[in-house]
Amino acid sequence: MGETRIYLDHAATTFLRKEAFEEMLPFLKEQYGNPSSMYTLAREARQAVNTARERTASALGAEEEEIYFTSGGTEANNISIQGFMKSLGRKGHIIASAVEHHAVMDVCEELTREGHRVTYLPVDKYGRVNPEDLKQSIAEDTALIAVMTANNEVGTIQPVKEIGAIAREKGIVFHTDAVQAVGHIPMDVKEINADLLSFSAHKFNGPKGVGGLYVRRGLKIMPLFKGGAQEKKIRPGTENVPGIVGMGKAIELATGDLPGKMDKFSELRDFFIEGLLAMEGVILNGHPTQRLPGNINVSFTDIEGESILLSLDLEGIAASSGSACSSGTLDPSHVLMAMGLDHQTAHGSVRFSLGEGNNREEIEYVLEKLKPIVARLREMSAVKNRSR
């Protein structure tokens, strides 16, 4: 078996950073108390959860009481959207972007089956929604607007500030899936008028299986699970103390030097994009500037993205075709389709996502390796087409 030497799939997941791991360790060993109990061991666990809540709230511009810990982004999106729609006590209208993650899309589909109505907002060729389209889609019974902060496949950043302002003005609740954004671009729940915001630790060098939901003070959410008073009953169940502690440290570090980090990754991203576009038959997917600092998504014409990935893997390079969560299906990505790509171009897409540890030498190496891979695969596809 080969070995992954260059990891360019940070949008799928990231390594756990040392500082977060070290803060977690005692809570995996001797400090195993249940935060709900009364004795010293438990109080230490409670204190550690409180510290993580403080750090998380401060990173998002929220109040501590507005942060609810969950098992990750998927759960946060489910609790948020389903929980809010259930709390209405009536059927309502949801407006969601056509490029949401499946953790939002599938919830919307489920709610449609339950009798709610969903309008999917179209996006432009860069994957951005137009706030004017949003205004046009608002109806009497619109209860929720769900537009992600940044897309997991193409990295496009949505005009969430404008969207939040429209939602607030119309008295509609605004949910944003910020799983790809938190720790990567500045996030302030008040600035974008978010009512509900999801995030996930493993996308910013925290542990897997832990994340959270911001719920604006005073907003009512119906819990999806019953059985305990933890997280003010919104997410009952004994807290994942080590995970929460690790996330608290990771979010503090990830948001600590955002401007410096963003500059560094944007520069590396643009260098990579330039190198890719210098190759023949390469198309950039997503917005040229309104995109996550670490996201590169391109389509290689006449080649399957999967074939490139396999060849890259043989060279020890890890990347992804579209979203890791949807790989395993042969359907083209709903995001690329919503952006108007044809099936063939969508199938030729590869996502590279940068993160801690990546450097220019690695990108130069990948560009060097890609050239012969792409040439060989194009030749194979030309032979196949000739023999048809």
Ligand X SMILES: Cc1ncc(COP(=O)(O)O)c(C=O)c1O
In the window 308-327, what residues touch ligand X (CB under 6 A)? 325
DSSP string over 71-130 = SSHHHHHHHHHHHHHHHHSS--EEEEETT--HHHHHHHHHHHHTT-EEEEEP--TTSPPP
Q: What is the x/- site pattern for ligand X, positions 209-238, by CB under 6 A?
A: --x---------------------------
Among 33, 72, 164, 355, binds ligand X (CB under 6 A): 72
Strands 93-97 vs 117-121: parallel, antiparallel or unpaired: parallel
Phi, psi values for residue 377, rounded to 5°: -70, -35
* Contact region with ligand X (CB under 6 A), list: 52-60, 69-77, 87-95, 189-197: 69-77
Least distance from ligand X to the Cβ atom of residue 291, Å: 14
Which two tokens mark 335?
Answer: 């995001």
Among 78, 152, 307, 321, binds ligand X (CB under 6 A): 152
Looking up tokens 């060098």, which residue turns up? 205
Q: Name which of 210, 245, 237 is nearest 69 in CA terms.
A: 210
Least distance from ligand X to the Cβ atom of residue 71, Å: 7
Which two tokens mark 352?
Answer: 């590279």
Which one is catalytic: 16, 88, 325, 367?
A: 325
- Residue 200 or 255 with smaller CB distance to ligand X: 200
In the window 2-41, what residues touch ligand X (CB under 6 A)? none
- Residue 14 or 307 with smaller CB distance to ligand X: 14
358: contact with ligand X by CB under 6 A:
no
Alpha-carbon span 198 to 8, nearest angstrom = 24
**Residue partners of 192: CB distance under 8 A and separation at least 6:** 149, 160, 161, 163, 164, 174, 176
73: contact with ligand X by CB under 6 A:
yes
In the window 115-144, what residues touch ligand X (CB under 6 A)? none
E strand map for 178-279:
196-200, 211-215
Q: Yes or no: say if 202 and 72 are a contact pair by the CB < 8 Å rule.
A: yes
* Contact region with ligand X (CB under 6 A), list: 20-28, 172-180, 231-239, 278-286: 172-180
Alpha-carbon span 335 to 332, nearest angstrom = 9
Least distance from ligand X to the Cβ atom of residue 292, Å: 11
Among 9, 177, 195, 362, binds ligand X (CB under 6 A): 177
183: contact with ligand X by CB under 6 A:
no
- Residue 77 or 295 with smaller CB distance to ligand X: 77
Which two tokens mark 110?
Answer: 């489920």
Which two tokens mark 250?
Answer: 């990771």
82: contact with ligand X by CB under 6 A:
no
# residues near ligand X by CB under 6 A: 14
- Residue 73 or 275 with smaller CB distance to ligand X: 73
The residue type found at 208 is K
- Residue 31 or 290 with smaller CB distance to ligand X: 290
Q: Yes or no: say if 252 and 59 are a contact pair by the CB < 8 Å rule.
A: yes
Alpha-carbon span 193 to 174, nearest angstrom = 8
SS3 317: strand
**325 classed as catalytic:** yes
Among 156, 158, 180, 297, binds ligand X (CB under 6 A): 180
179: contact with ligand X by CB under 6 A:
yes
Nearest-CB residue for ligand X: 73
Using CB atoms within 10 Å of the CB of residue 347, give its burial: 0 to 12 exposed, 13 to 18 middle, 19+ buried.
Answer: buried
Among 14, 56, 74, 358, binds ligand X (CB under 6 A): 74
- Contact positions vs ligand X (CB under 6 A): 72-74, 77, 101, 103, 148, 152, 177, 179-180, 200, 211, 325
| Catalytic positions, written as ranges | 325
